A and B are shown apart, each in its own frame.
Chain A
């Protein structure tokens, strides 16, 4: 029987197995239901997966624990919105342009932020989205103020097309981010995370690579922001809210910081949780906050690692049994 059992034996990675099962489920999901509501939940789960993964690149891989990821998300959402609304450029082009703008902002913010470390960096990264939120929220002439940025073109009139759009966006982004994280550049990023002085001492231009990480992170956060803007067909100062940044952080950490793929797992879990709590609006923030507290206090390496560790034990036992049986059969591979 060339089956799942065979496959697991060959791959030997419960995490990869989990990911492949998840992938198949995501791809064939519209077969089960084309319910508008269910699909739109999954779409925003995909968008947030990209957003959280972009933060994971900067924080989890490079060690720059930014508290202001909503900045990239927000400026790109506004950029995409403005391009679409004023110049009539279709979403397919405005979204990547939003990402490009995220890169520009990543450089601009990186300029002062990279001079700072630890607590100084944390506070500074918190400030920038706050500035824009205040500027835009209280100046109606500037970018429509609190409310007047409606009427963006939707991604597609068909919900299932939008769904596949978000799936492609998510898969591509996560694939590219994972490739970067496992490449030589990723290795340099991780060396900066683990010991910046040592990295510097081995001749790495740490400032250059931190800039690069900011740019990459800004790009993917920007793409997510642009997609979100077209999805809701509306942009407002809400995009700079600190809770967006916190959500990205919690999502990535729920799945596992520094794993990139953890952001996807975290995002889907968060969506499920949000749906379970839908009828308890007044408890929603508190439960999210409690979860955030518990994750960062007790489960910093994320749920993905906790689960796979649980899986590994029985799987190993099963492999051991198979080996024993083969010996008894006199089979000699």
Chain B
């Protein structure tokens, strides 16, 4: 049973880390709350579903590109001009997510769709049988996050992103092109949501209301600290473990949600900035 908990919580942690890091990145750099983040997960899944006749590989690549361009367009027209007004950005992006949800519902209907898995078969680890798709998902998720970590720590562009996240005014003073950094962050953030869809949408169901998957990542974001990538990564696995332990011990159901909420409220009380977050400003 312990093996089962470990493996399933690692896989769930992979999904949480992709979703929450994407959200945290743009949240930390641009200081906005992008509630439409989950919608990009949804859009990518439906685009792959639509473009399937072209072959799975091509469908995935084209879907990711379209999702990123859509996201950048949305950023330029709707989010960017409001960037300094947090509450309005949050409202506009919630509205956007609803618009996507309803548009998809009108086009594809409200039923669940399924996306083909990337690889088939199962593997037995410590006597626990796991589908290869889930293992691949976990591996790619960790690889993606490590790659992002190197990108941000080592490259010039990554350092620019860090600088803007730390202090936008000073970053502007030293000659960093703020707008371009923000657009890069937005693109990366959407790419992460898209990758999450490619990896995890085949094993979870996808329906027009699935953008609310973002709300499942919120406890992770609070625990890790809003805007902290390291925090989101660590918190993703902590929370996934907590969820799985509770699920296996008490048999699942809403006790899992209650445990998550309890953890979240405790964190808010004791350490509102999260495990790795900066002050609550």
In-complex Cβ contact of A117 among B82, B85, B99, B280 (8 A): B280
In-complex Cβ contact of A138 among B31, B222, B254 (8 A): B254
Instruction: Evaluate contact between A293 and B280: CB separation under 8 angstroms.
Output: no
- A 105-117 binary contact with B (CB < 8 Å = 1; else 0): 0000000100111
From residue A177, how far is it (CB to closest CB) to chain B in Å? 20
- B 188-201 binary contact with A (CB < 8 Å = 1; else 0): 00000000000000
Instruction: Evaluate contact between B102 and A119: CB separation under 8 angstroms.
Output: no
Whole-angstrom CA separation of A250 from B88 in the bound complex:
11
Which residues of B97-136 have CB atoms within 8 Å of chain A's CB atoms? 98-99, 101-103, 105-106
- A 170-206 binary contact with B (CB < 8 Å = 1; else 0): 0000000000000000000000000000000000000
Whole-angstrom CA separation of A289 from B258 in the bound complex:
30
Instruction: Evaluate contact between A293 and B254: CB separation under 8 angstroms.
Output: no
Instruction: Evaluate contact between A138 and B253: CB separation under 8 angstroms.
Output: yes
Q: Looking at the complex, which of A89-97, A120-128, A224-232 is the stretch in contact with chain B?
A: A120-128
In-complex Cβ contact of A123 among B101, B221, B253 (8 A): B221
Instruction: Evaluate contact between A67 and B90: CB separation under 8 angstroms.
Output: yes
Instruction: Evaluate contact between B281 and A134: CB separation under 8 angstroms.
Output: no
- A 123-137 binary contact with B (CB < 8 Å = 1; else 0): 110110011001100
Whole-angstrom CA separation of A83 from B101 in the bound complex:
38
Whole-angstrom CA separation of A286 from B27 in the bound complex:
26
B268 at the A/B interface (Cβ < 8 Å)? yes
In-complex Cβ contact of B88 among A123, A126, A246, A296 (8 A): A296
Instruction: Categorize the interface residue count of chain A.
Output: 35 or more
Known: A115-B272, A300-B88. A120 touches B98 (CB 8 A): no
- Of listed A122, A253, A282, residue having the most chain B CB within 10 A: A122
| B interface secondary structure, majority | helix
Q: Report how many A-B pairs have Cβ atoms within 8 Å.
A: 109
Instruction: Categorize the interface residue count of chain B.
Output: 35 or more
Residues of B within 8 A of A65 (CB): 86-87, 90
Whole-angstrom CA separation of A202 from B114 in the bound complex:
59
Instruction: Evaluate contact between A135 and B99: CB separation under 8 angstroms.
Output: no
Whole-angstrom CA separation of A285 from B269 in the bound complex:
36
Whole-angstrom CA separation of A7 from B231 in the bound complex:
63
Residues of B within 8 A of A59 (CB): 87
Name which residue of chain A comes closest to B261, CB basis.
A131
A314 at the A/B interface (Cβ < 8 Å)? no
- B 29-58 binary contact with A (CB < 8 Å = 1; else 0): 001010000000000000000000000000
Name which residue of chain A comes closest to B273, CB basis.
A120
Instruction: Evaluate contact between B90 and A118: CB separation under 8 angstroms.
Output: no
From residue A44, how far is it (CB to closest CB) to chain B in Å? 21
Known: A116-B272, A116-B280, A117-B281. A122 touches B86 (CB 8 A): yes
Instruction: Evaluate contact between A286 and B269: CB separation under 8 angstroms.
Output: no
Which residues of B63-84 have CB atoms within 8 Å of chain A's CB atoms? 78, 81-82
Residues of A within 8 A of B257 (CB): 134
Residues of A within 8 A of B272 (CB): 112, 115-116, 120
Whole-angstrom CA separation of A296 from B90 in the bound complex:
10
Name which residue of chain A comes closest to B85, CB basis.
A300
- B 242-262 binary contact with A (CB < 8 Å = 1; else 0): 000000000001100110010
Instruction: Evaluate contact between B281 and A292: CB separation under 8 angstroms.
Output: no
Known: A138-B254, A246-B94, A297-B92. A118 touches B86 (CB 8 A): yes
- A 251-294 binary contact with B (CB < 8 Å = 1; else 0): 00100000000000000000000000000001101101110110
Instruction: Evaluate contact between A112 and B265: CB separation under 8 angstroms.
Output: yes
Residues of B within 8 A of A117 (CB): 280-281
Residues of B within 8 A of A130 (CB): 215, 261
A139 at the A/B interface (Cβ < 8 Å)? yes
From residue B103, how far is it (CB to closest CB) to chain A in Å? 7
Whole-angstrom CA separation of A126 from B35 in the bound complex:
12
Residues of A within 8 A of B91 (CB): 246, 249-250, 253, 292, 296
Residues of A within 8 A of B103 (CB): 286
Whole-angstrom CA separation of A122 from B215 in the bound complex:
13
B96 at the A/B interface (Cβ < 8 Å)? yes
In-complex Cβ contact of B78 among A250, A285, A288, A293 (8 A): A293
From residue B81, how far is it (CB to closest CB) to chain A in Å? 8
Whole-angstrom CA separation of A122 from B226 in the bound complex:
11
Known: A112-B268, A120-B226. A293 touches B87 (CB 8 A): no
Instruction: Evaluate contact between A122 and B33: CB separation under 8 angstroms.
Output: yes
Residues of B within 8 A of A139 (CB): 254
From residue A284, how far is it (CB to closest CB) to chain B in Å? 9
From residue A16, how far is it (CB to closest CB) to chain B in Å? 28
Residues of B within 8 A of A126 (CB): 218
Whole-angstrom CA separation of A256 from B15 in the bound complex:
40
* 18 A–B contacts from the bound complex (CB under 8 Å): A65-B87, A112-B268, A112-B269, A117-B280, A119-B226, A122-B90, A127-B218, A134-B257, A135-B258, A282-B102, A286-B106, A289-B98, A289-B99, A289-B102, A292-B92, A292-B98, A293-B99, A296-B91
A residues with a Cβ closer than 8 A to B are: 59, 65, 67, 112, 115-120, 122-124, 126-127, 130-131, 134-135, 138-139, 246, 249-250, 253, 282-283, 285-286, 288-290, 292-293, 296-297, 300
Closest 5 CB pairs of A and B: A65-B87, A286-B102, A289-B98, A293-B95, A292-B95
Q: Beyond A131-B258, A296-B95, A297-B78: 17 further Cβ-contacts under 8 Å?
A: A112-B268, A116-B268, A118-B281, A120-B273, A123-B221, A127-B265, A134-B258, A249-B91, A282-B106, A285-B98, A285-B101, A286-B103, A288-B98, A289-B102, A290-B95, A292-B91, A296-B92
